[in-house]
Structure 1
Amino acid sequence: MGSREEIVAAAAKVMREQGYAHATTKVIAQTAGYSEAMLYKHFRDKTDLFLSVMAEELPALDSTLAELTADPGQAALRDNLVRVARLGLAFYLDGFPIAVSVFSSRELLRSHRERLGGHGPRRPLNGVAAYLRAEQALGRIKPDTDAEAAAALLLGACFQQAFLSTFEESEPADLAGRIADTLLAGL
């Protein structure tokens, strides 16, 4: 593993333990066993590092959604929805402790939102909606289905379960099949 990968792994660890707001680049670099200068050799700032953590250390929701959107018919619709729900649950469960501290102050949230651009929390919703529209094009989902609302229902359920599990310090229930089945009934 190279220095960049070690820094990203250390950032994920520190951000999970301390939250984004309290994770400093100095502590992240120390945890990785490198200097802050080495960290800045690979990353512009903490937000750049946060984006790398979200893309590289959390379950691959973006790449899976891109794959399913490109070839939605590769598996049964239910299997695809269960897969998306499982990844959504894992993504939010892993990401929640990292991202929640961004909401600790309005200034931090505003600054973070400006830096994220198109990489914000709407991105998974857009990805699920795009996948559902691809399923509509195949005729596997009713043509009048609101893909954005269906995506919000699916990921909203995943987010809520991750929130509860994080709050209660409990293992999340395996709801992926039930979430997919309930959504599928309306599609």
Structure 2
Amino acid sequence: MPSAKPARERILDAAYELMLTVGLARATTKEIAKGADCSEAALYKYFASKEDLFIRVLSERLPRLTPLLHGLAAEPGRASLEENLTEIARRATLFYEQSFPIAASLYAETRLKRRHDDVMREMGTGPHLPIEGLDTYLRAEQGAGRVRADADTFAAASLLLGACAQRAFAYDATRDGTRPPVDDFARRVARALRVGLC
């Protein structure tokens, strides 16, 4: 019996599951369509390419950071700076934790990575946008007087998101292979950054 979900949702679900288990390079549109119980032609009705589908998986199936950053930048002063940075770090940590297993294979295949980067440029998206969004938020807080006037907001944004991305793979080789708990990690990173910004 076919799923009651619309085809586009089934395709996104199947792509997410397949990309998570075998990586982007090995997740073929044929296998994704099969997992979604539809034809490849139906897949291409909703998504222009596998790269387009991958970007939609990232934006629609993983924790969303951009709307949070835009909302905070529009309303500086909402909650405490440390609370806001903690929530940003928490979402970023979860996003990178889930996206790294999917995207890692991009870096093993130069042509695939180049094609993926071209599609991201065409769509006006990319991994630089969260850094720019966090920089915009921190500059808004600077304008509100909650961040030092001489603070380097771009460097601070890069440090926070870099730490969150690093957590996704830096602890795999430890004795027990355990990453620091998300909430504790986010709180500690946010506190360290806040101390440097205020």
Moved more, 29-38 or 78-87: 29-38
Mapped partners of 1:49, 1:81: distance in 2 = 30
2:167–2:179 Cα contact (<8 Å) kept: no
Q: Which residue of 1 aligns with 2:188?
A: 178
Q: Deviating runs (4+, > 3 A) in structure 1?
A: 165-172
Mapped partners of 1:146, 1:96: distance in 2 = 28
Q: Which amino acid aligns with 2:47?
A: F
Q: Which amino acid aligns with 2:44?
A: Y
Q: 1:49 aligns with which of 49, 53, 63?
A: 53
TM-score by length of 2: 0.90
Mapped partners of 2:55, 2:173: distance in 1 = 24
Q: 1:160 aligns with which of 157, 161, 166?
A: 166
Report sequence identity in percent. Answer: 47
DSSP 3-state at the match of 2:138: helix
Q: 1:145 aligns with which of 148, 151, 154?
A: 151
CA RMSD of aligned residues (A): 1.4
DSSP 3-state at the match of 2:23: helix
DSSP 3-state at the match of 1:51: helix
| Larger gyration radius, structure 1 or structure 2 | 2
DSSP 3-state at the match of 2:129: helix
More helix by share: 1
1:97–1:166 Cα contact (<8 Å) kept: no
After the TM superposition, which residues 2-21 of structure 1 pair with which residues of structure 2 at under 5 Å, given as runs? 2-21=6-25
DSSP 3-state at the match of 1:72: coil
Unmatched segments (≥5 aa) in structure 2 = none
Unmatched segments (≥5 aa) in structure 1 = none
Q: Which amino acid aligns with 2:193?
A: L
Mapped partners of 1:42, 1:71: distance in 2 = 35
Q: Which amino acid aligns with 2:196?
A: G
Q: Which residue of 1 aligns with 2:111?
A: 107
Change in 2 beyond 3 A, CA 1:63/1:167: farther
